[in-house]
């Protein structure tokens, strides 16, 4: 696996994680 491939995968995963949190933190949720 080349360095470029792991960089692309790593940044994609990071984008999904941060994007997911930004979306999720804006949702109205139930409290417990």
Work out how close the CB of 20 gets to another protein at its nearest, in angstroms, rounded to a whole number: 8
Work out how close the CB of 13 gets to another protein at its nearest, in angstroms, rounded to a whole number: 6
Q: Which two tokens stand for residue 15?
A: 């984008």
Work out how close the CB of 14 gets to another protein at its nearest, in angstroms, rounded to a whole number: 5
Q: Which residue has the tokens 């360095």?
A: 3
Q: How many CA atoms lie within 13 A of 1 on its CB side?
A: 6
Per CB under 8 A, residues contacting another protein are 1-4, 6-7, 9-11, 13-14, 17-18, 20-22, 24-32
């Amino acid at each position: 696996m080349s360095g470029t491939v792991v960089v692309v995968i790593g940044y994609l995963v990071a984008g999904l994680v941060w994007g997911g949190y930004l979306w999720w933190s804006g949702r109205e949720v139930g409290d417990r």
